[in-house]
Structure 1
Amino acid sequence: MAGSLHYSHHPHPGSGEPPEPDDLYAEPPPWDIGRPQPAFLALAEAGAIRGRVLDAGCGTGEHVLMCAALGLDATGIDLASRALRTAEGKAHERGRTARFLRWDALKLVDLHETFGTVLDCGLFHIFGSDDRAAYVDSLRAAIRPGGRYFMLCFSDRQPGEWGRVHKLARAEIEASFAEGWRIDSIEPSTIDITTDPDGIRAWLVALTRT
């Protein structure tokens, strides 16, 4: 595992010191819904997820296992060992072949691998401006030219306070990917959670690495 434990990758209501990644999975967190997010499932069913797949901030692995079920070479990374153990257990129970690594998403260059598709549900929006730029650079190193990046993040339309999560405006996303990417679409979407039937107002972003 490369990198540090300086970030968590999902909503954590409240303030104060960032929680350790494993602390987020001491109990099932709201975003751990036991199935793929509908927005990503629709992409998979439409055939948009192709090639070798990386899920950045994979949690307990539902999107990795979704891709593995399609016969894709699927890898998930996270800093939460507890979540990764759960993901590996799911893969065994379901008879799926998938790889799970404890790895820092800001250090993808150190994997020395490239992917045709990167998925990101709830990781991009935890970064401040400096780390956001570093993460985009990290993604650029991991996605082959012509590869796709699909991201679900909190929208600025979502009310309330959400701790370290940055609720993003469309313009912020566009600015982050202004160089080296083609923005294919930024569409209103939803992140399902277990604690609110209405879910979280989100953006579904599709980009191509140029």
Structure 2
Amino acid sequence: MADNPTGSPPKSLTHDPESYENLYRGKPAFPGAPAPEAIPWDVRQAQPRLMELEALGALKGHVLDVGCGLGDNAIYLASHGHTVTGLDSSPTGIEQARARAADAGVQVHFDVADATRLTGYEAEFDTVIDSALYHCLDHAGRNAYAAALHRATKPGARLFIYCFSDDSVNGVIAPMEAVQASEIRDTLPSGGWRIDFLGRTTFLGNASGFSGSFGKLPDSVLAQMPSELAQRMQRMAERMAVILPLIDDGRIHLPCHVVHATRMD
């Protein structure tokens, strides 16, 4: 049980760029954690909800995949004729995304960038997809992120966000950050975005990714976390231990908010 009931977790336990760089290099995300058996969000395909958006014709013009990770969403969109830029904070993640795009035979512009700044990108994108980045930012980071996206997009641009919620899917909860709907309703409009739809959906995850760094944190690491966060991770690990042997395809569905928003001029 954690003995840090109210404080914030140490910087080494937050989702700073170094933790993601470590994961992409096959190292523990947090000091004292085991090495990952897999990247939790690496499902080797585009997210099903993104595929639906593309099939419905919702993605227009130059598309930004922000927090693109290993690039599977961006690669899928490029393979369907879209002009896509994929940005991520991890140089190793971007390097691997470029390799995947080359293997797929598609053209995607991948680059390293801070999503809360998006330096060098001004009024460039018509559509933004955020597939599990928003919940990785703290409150100040989310405000800066919304403003940065506004600067980087054209008038009338559309924004599609998928971020962890407090719901559960057959007892499976989000492993760490769960964003409150009220926070989204406050943050996006203040950054220049009109929310057109806010609802519930799921995010496809790699089950093996929750048996390593995110599923077996030792007590010494959990003790450095706020009690609520430590308890959430413990509950997730306990649930994963039960269901992992029963999963045939190695994938799980995690609870998410889905947000459709439009850039206000």
Cα RMSD, aligned residues only: 1.8
Shift of 1:113: 4.8
Shift of 1:177: 1.6
Residue number in structure 2 paired with 1:171: 182
Structure 1 residues not aligned, in runs of 5+? 1-14
SS in 1 for 2:57: coil
Shift of 1:198: 4.0
Residue number in structure 1 paired with 2:175: 162
Matched, 1:23 2:77: no
Higher relative CO (Cα under 8 Å, sequence separation at least 6) belongs to: 2
Structure 2 residues not aligned, in runs of 5+? 1-8, 27-37, 208-239, 241-250
Alpha-carbon distance change, 139 to 53 in structure 1, aligned in 2, over 3 angstroms: same
1:125–1:153 Cα contact (<8 Å) kept: yes
2:123–2:154 Cα contact (<8 Å) kept: no
Residue number in structure 1 paired with 2:117: 107
Matched, 1:92 2:91: no
**193, 204, 209: which one pairs with 1:192?**
204
Higher helix proportion, which one? Answer: 2
Question: For residue 26 of structure 1, what is the amino acid of its counterpart?
Answer: R
SS in 2 for 1:108: coil
Deviations 1:31-70 (A, max 9, x none): 1110011111100111101100111110010111111112
Matched, 1:62 2:72: yes
Number of equivalences: 194
SS in 1 for 2:116: helix
Residue number in structure 2 paired with 1:204: 258
Among the aligned pairs, what percent are the same residue? 31
1:84–1:102 Cα contact (<8 Å) kept: yes
2:40–2:206 Cα contact (<8 Å) kept: yes
Alpha-carbon distance in structure 1 between the residues aligned to 2:252 and 2:103: 30
Residue number in structure 2 paired with 1:121: 131
Alpha-carbon distance in structure 1 between the residues aligned to 2:206 and 2:136: 20
Larger radius of gyration: 2
